[in-house]
Amino acid sequence: MTQQTLRTLQSNLADRDRLQDQATSQRAFRSPSEDPAAAATALGVHGEQARVAQYARNLNDGMAWVTTVDTALGASIDLLNRARDLTVQGANSGAQSQAAREAIAAELESIGAGLLTQANTTVLGRSVFAGTSDAGRAFEPGTYAFNGTAGAGVQRRISDNETVRVDADGAEAFGVGATSVFALLNDIAADLRAGTDVGVRLGDIDGRLKSMVAAQGSTGARQAQIERASAQNLSVSIDLEARRAQVEDVDSLEVLVQLQSAELVFQSALQVTARSLQTNLLEFLR
């Protein structure tokens, strides 16, 4: 009778301790052995959450790249539009003095330097216009040689079945070497100083503008793709967290009620045991 009573008390005490642990930790189980099925489900959910978290990091990194590319291309388009206006102004050679042509030429060279700076824009030390190349810059000053790798873009996986390019092809946007926009502006400046008609250069500028606008449009489309994927990834993350909470977390109110009930059962068992296990005959008869 004593052994059976002790086993019952220990069982009640174990139930109370389990509920108390759930109330303090807010977790339905402490080890997989307590609920193997729930533990297996929780492991699966945690694996999916880790995958979604990695996609979120890829999306944030990709957004930083495409935003930088878009900003650099936008600034380059503004600079080149200004260069076009100056070229139109310089084409009216009959109304321009040598000093005026020199001033226009100097500003065009300054714009060319600004374009080179934009073309060598980086993110965390990586050029956004040089593809997978690890060169510190996309274009070399002076020669305007392109350091990028042809046809190799920087990719980011943003879902199980979807990747997106996050850089831009600098060779297509800015040109290379003697055919680059930088060399073009230098040539126009030289023509202005030599008194040559620069009106014929407007077509070349328009061609470069068209390439930059096309590159910016492509970048904007990829930026929208990343934004859609980010919203979808966030929705999946919220759903997974709800599933995890359903498996691992406990209902605080329910656990507190059960804990109070277990405490009451345990105290009642102690009182009954104290009365039933009498120590002598007189207490038993009484």
DSSP result, 158-226: EETTEEEE-S--HHHHH--GGGSHHHHHHHHHHHHHHT---GGGHHHHHHHHHHHHHHHHHHHHHHHHH
96 membership: H or E segment, kind and range = none
The answer to whether 233 and 52 have CB atoms below 8 angstroms apart is yes
For residues 45 and 240, the answer to whether their CB atoms sit within 8 Å is: yes
Residue 27 pLDDT greater than 80, yes or no: no
Q: Which residues of 18-55 are buried (b: 16+ CB within 10 A; e: fewer)?
A: bbeebeeeeebbeeeeebeeebebbeebeebbeebeeb
pLDDT at position 245, please?
A: 75
Residue 251 has pLDDT above 60, yes or no: no
What per-residue confidence (pLDDT) applies to 76? Answer: 96
What SS3 class is residue 139? strand
The torsion region of residue 148 among left (phi > 0), alpha (psi -120 to 50) and beta comes to beta
pLDDT at 122 over 90: yes
At CA 107, angle to CA 101 and CA 111, rounded to 5?
Answer: 140
- The answer to which of 138-152, 163-177, 261-275 has the lowest mean pLDDT is 261-275
What pLDDT shows up at residue 195?
85
Quote the pLDDT of residue 189.
Answer: 94
Higher-confidence residue of 284 and 17: namely 17
Dist CA 200 CA 174 (whole Å)? 19
User: Which pLDDT value is given to residue 259?
Assistant: 61
Structure tokens, 138:
């996309």
Number of C-beta neighbours around residue 159 at 10 A:
16
What structural domains and CATH numbers belong to the chain?
A: 47-243 (1.20.1330.10)
At residue 42, the pLDDT reads 81
Distance from the first to the final alpha carbon of the chain: 20
Alpha helices in the chain (DSSP H): 2-25, 36-91, 98-119, 170-174, 181-194, 202-248, 252-276, 281-285
Q: Give the pLDDT confidence of 36-94 residue by residue, as tens digits.
A: 887 888 888 889 999 999 999 999 999 999 999 999 999 999 999 999 999 999 887 66
